[in-house]
Structure 1
Amino acid sequence: MRVFVFFAAVATVLMLHAPARADDAAPATLTVIGKVGTSNRPGFDPFRDAFFKFHGKEFEKAFAFDRAALKALPQRTVTAKAAPWPKPVTASGPPLKDVLDAAGVADDATVTLFALDGYGVTLSPADRAARDWVLAIEMDGTPLAIGGRGPAWLLYDTGDGTASEDAEAKWVWSVFVIAAE
């Protein structure tokens, strides 16, 4: 009996530490749709893309990022504080420009970032150039989670200052899709 228990334990440990299959790719946490120059996923499918359908986001081309792909881009850390917050936060993630560049979005495109609840903020090329926008995936050293401000949060560095509530309104959190026009 001991031999059976030993082999069962070894088999369990080996299964838990076995490499993931190639078809166990990490799910996308952010998708750039619309005028993308590079596509790494199929176009919109009303059945498979039920949440996109719910939000009326149909597309022919898209570039999807999982957390590892966002983490593989250059990272930037910002300190941000808005008027109603109790304290500043330290957030890190790739610059928005690098995310858009990876998807092949032109510098002259207008982009709209949408949150899981449908809230969206549109940034013109001039709006994007006016700030060093970061698409944070971590806050205070912890990955952003859905149900908090994740999977991604658009914001910029306020340094020692405090952003107004109007400025904070452009800091979209729970970003899941960016539409490029």
Structure 2
Amino acid sequence: MLEMRAAWTSVWAPLAFALSVGALEAGVVVAAEPLPPPEGPVLLVVSGNLEVTNSPHGAQFDREMLYGLGLTAVDTTTAWTDGVQAFEGVLLSAVLDRVGAHGTTITATAINDYEARIPFEDAATYEVLLAAKMNGTEMTVRDRGPLWVVYPRDAYPVLMEPLFNDRWVWQLREIRVE
């Protein structure tokens, strides 16, 4: 028995350590930390196939929690505004990683119940942003906020295709991972 433990330790332990370090460097969460409850108004609910939740409804995020995942800036045109707009928010992939989401489809739902189905791989492939600010100002419900799904369409010509416009959900309130 002791020989088996020594063999495992000498052969498999370094491999397990290397894999876990590699996963961390690749941005993969090895052991998901608990998600604290929101302290402010809930801006986003993530539900569905998740490993980490903080409520019976799934994972709830307030503004501070979202911003804590790291802010990213994207300058791009939209089909609804004139010229290039400066957006700032959290990458959709960061939110999905934080809650340990697994699936093939994301259903993004707006305050008015508009829904769009987004392929899961879009989050990483196109660096989709959950924008909270446009041109330096936090967005409100009146101006497509508090969150707007934004694709960096100027960086990828394919994103100019009309089918992607349906995925730009503004007044986003929920993401369901299936």
**Any idea what SS the aligned residue of 2:160 has?**
coil
- Cα deviation, residue 169, structure 1: 2.1
Q: Does 1:111 align with 2:111?
A: no
Could you tell me which residue of structure 2 aligns to residue 76 of structure 1? 72
The whole-number CA distance in structure 2 between the counterparts of 1:99 and 1:27 is: 17
Q: TM-score, normalised by structure 1?
A: 0.69
Does the 8 A contact of 2:46 with 2:175 survive in 1?
A: yes
- Structure 2, unpaired ranges of 5+: 1-37
**Any idea what SS the aligned residue of 1:147 has?**
helix
Name which of 25, 30, 33 aligns with 2:39: 25
Within 5 Å, give how 1:47-62 maps onto structure 2: 61-62=57-58
- Cα deviation, residue 77, structure 1: 0.7
Does the 8 A contact of 2:122 with 2:128 survive in 1?
A: no
Give the residue type in structure 2 aligned to 1:176.
R
Q: Does 1:174 align with 2:171?
A: yes
Q: Residues 83, 115 of structure 1: CA spacing in aligned structure 2 closer, same or farther, 3 A cutoff?
A: closer
Calculate the aligned-residue CA RMSD, in Å: 2.4
Q: Does 1:123 align with 2:137?
A: no
Q: Does 1:35 align with 2:30?
A: no
Q: Number of matched residues? A: 140
Q: Does 1:96 align with 2:92?
A: yes
Give the residue type in structure 2 aligned to 1:155.
V
Give the residue type in structure 2 aligned to 1:175.
L
Does the 8 A contact of 2:104 with 2:121 survive in 1?
A: no
Could you tell me which residue of structure 1 aligns to residue 83 of structure 2? 87
Q: TM-score, normalised by structure 2?
A: 0.70
Q: Residues 124, 153 of structure 1: CA spacing in aligned structure 2 closer, same or farther, 3 A cutoff?
A: same
Does the 8 A contact of 1:84 with 1:165 survive in 2?
A: no
Could you tell me which residue of structure 2 aligns to residue 145 of structure 1? 140
Paired-residue identity, %: 28
The whole-number CA distance in structure 1 between the counterparts of 2:116 and 2:132 is: 18
Could you tell me which residue of structure 2 aligns to residue 66 of structure 1? 62
**Any idea what SS the aligned residue of 2:60 has?**
strand
The whole-number CA distance in structure 1 between the counterparts of 2:130 and 2:80 is: 21
- Cα deviation, residue 165, structure 1: 4.3
- Cα deviation, residue 83, structure 1: 4.2
- Cα deviation, residue 166, structure 1: 3.7
- Cα deviation, residue 96, structure 1: 0.3
Give the residue type in structure 2 aligned to 1:170.
R
Q: Highest relative contact order (Cα 8 Å, sep 6+), 1 or 2?
A: 1
Does the 8 A contact of 2:128 with 2:151 survive in 1?
A: yes
Q: What does the per-residue CA deviation read over 1:6-29, in whole Å, with 9 as the maximum and x for residues that have no partner?
A: xxxxxxxxxxxxxxxxxx931111
Give the residue type in structure 2 aligned to 1:146.
V
Q: What does the per-residue CA deviation read over 1:116-152, in whole Å, with 9 as the maximum and x for residues that have no partner?
A: 1111111223333431101111111111112221111
Could you tell me which residue of structure 2 aligns to residue 157 of structure 1? 152
